[in-house]
Amino acid sequence: MNKYNVISFFGFLALVIIFPIYAWYEPTQRADAQDDLQNQYVTDASVIYIENCAVCHGIEGEGIGATPALNSAALQSMDYEELFKVIARGRYGTAMTGWHEDEGGLYNDYQIQQLIALIRYADWTQIGELAASQGLIPPTLPIPSVDPEMVAHIIEMSPEAGSEWAAGFQLYAGNCTVCHGIEGEGTDIGVPLNTEDIQSRDAEELIRIISEGVSGTAMVPWHNALTPDEIASIVEFLQHWDEIEAEGIVLTPPEPVWVDVDDPESMLELGERIYSTTCVACHGEDGSGGTGPALNSQQVLTANTDEQLRSTIVNGGWRPSSTMPSFGDRLTSVEIDALVSYIRAWEPTAPFVENPRGTEQGGGPPWLRTDDGTTTTPGNGNGGQGNQGNQGGGSGQGGPPWRESGTDTTSGQATQSHTDTSAAAEQGPTIAVQGMVAAIENSLLTVQTADGSLVEAMLGPPWFWSEQGIVLNVGDAIALEGFESTDHMEVNWITNQTSGETKVLRENGQPIWAGSE
């Protein structure tokens, strides 16, 4: 066999092997190429969208007022030619103008094809993040303005009740839209209100819900923020919303706003606006507290890093009784950073708040409270003024028997541990800690916080923890709450965030082990 035959043979063999392999991988390579092209189209179109379309259609394609949403299944499946025609030529009788250069617009065929790819395949959350990073902030949170002509029209609708409907309309716009939606459609933290069910409910029931809130949800009591007459006006509006809407009277969401994300002052202003529209109802004016903790306090601001504040905003409250909703899906990362910056700016002048969690969230155990519900000053040996000699003789006066005697009346034995039950009666301000388990020896836990500092905490008597404690391992992410003792921290409750398990060590100030052997 001469060398030419050998070369021909191996060449033929290579073709036999290579062509099937190529044929096998060709569909995959073609699909990958199409995906890459699609992603490039969407990326390029995102810039076009943010610059020219988001102001009308919303930063995440959600639509603003009468302008339709683009993040809809109907548009994603719409015929290509129809989509092209609408974008290129506009829509007669609407604010949608033609964007093709042949119609006096800005874009050629290729760019309109990119916009179609955006409508069909975009991850709208990422579009929102991109817009925010360039300073275009979504209008989700600012309160909608109310047109005076709408108010006048509502008043004219009913000589008897029109004024009350109009008042409720304005109160809803100023207080309820963040959770329940501009059109009462509901959100992930608030139920729909523009429904037949709400309109048919008894007014007294709705007044009670608004006044007292709904336990275990983000619906906080409003009786301290609104007067009874104002709450009644909101209920009147809710029960006649369908009639008002039938007259063409609707709230219009505000447009996105441009913010200089590189300017600290602009970011602080953005944080203040977000706080005033989203957080103030629970955390109070200037972080003074209410249903939620007082954020403008040394305890909160010195115990939490920016990353911990950011985590709470994104994921919601991590305390077992917390109703703090998560805002990770409602705010862009730029907005969250602005909000954290605004809250952090309080730290230099933040006061020491004796009970930053507030009486709405417990206010300490009942025996540390006065008859009016306020918390007495602990550590004076008599439970505060008005409690000397157990005056009043009722619940909440003088403290539990073991507070003065040092004896566990439940078990009949003197408490001899460093976690003496009397410590609960003398505890100072509540402290919240988040971090990672650095070490654990018997019932002494060492936690490393995000800033690298170490916090030592006692988990109750060793015998109690070994019998009933949750499993903790070095490296586990944990959250706990307690109070300072002489040289360590005593724990009220602890959550292993890695396993999701929670253990409560004290209830109403009294250790769980007070009744255990």
Distance CA 72, CA 69 (A): 7
The pLDDT of residue 84 is 92
Amino acid letter, 337: D
Longest dimension (CA), the chain: 119
Amino acid letter, 352: F
Distance CA 270, CA 339 (A): 7
Render each residue's pLDDT in the chain as its tens digit; 517 residues: 566 676 776 676 666 676 676 666 666 666 666 667 777 888 888 888 887 787 778 778 877 656 788 888 888 888 889 999 999 988 877 768 788 888 888 889 988 988 998 988 888 888 878 777 777 666 544 467 788 899 999 999 988 888 999 999 999 988 888 778 888 888 767 889 999 999 999 999 999 999 988 866 668 788 877 899 999 999 999 999 999 989 988 887 766 777 888 889 988 988 998 898 788 878 888 888 877 788 998 878 887 889 989 888 888 765 555 667 788 877 888 889 999 999 999 999 988 876 666 544 433 333 333 444 443 433 333 333 333 333 333 333 333 333 333 333 333 333 333 334 344 445 567 788 888 888 877 778 888 888 777 888 888 776 777 666 667 888 888 888 888 765 668 888 888 887 778 888 887 767 887 664 4
**3-class SS of residue 337:** helix
Q: Which class for 113: exposed (0-12), middle (13-18), buried (19 or more C-beta within 10 A)?
A: middle
Distance CA 173, CA 277 (A): 11
**Ordered domains of the chain (ranges, CATH):** 3-134 (1.10.760.10), 148-246 (1.10.760.10), 259-349 (1.10.760.10), 424-515 (2.40.50.1010)
- Give the per-residue SS3 of 409-445: CCCCEECCCCCCCHHHHCCCCCEEEEEEEEEEECCEE
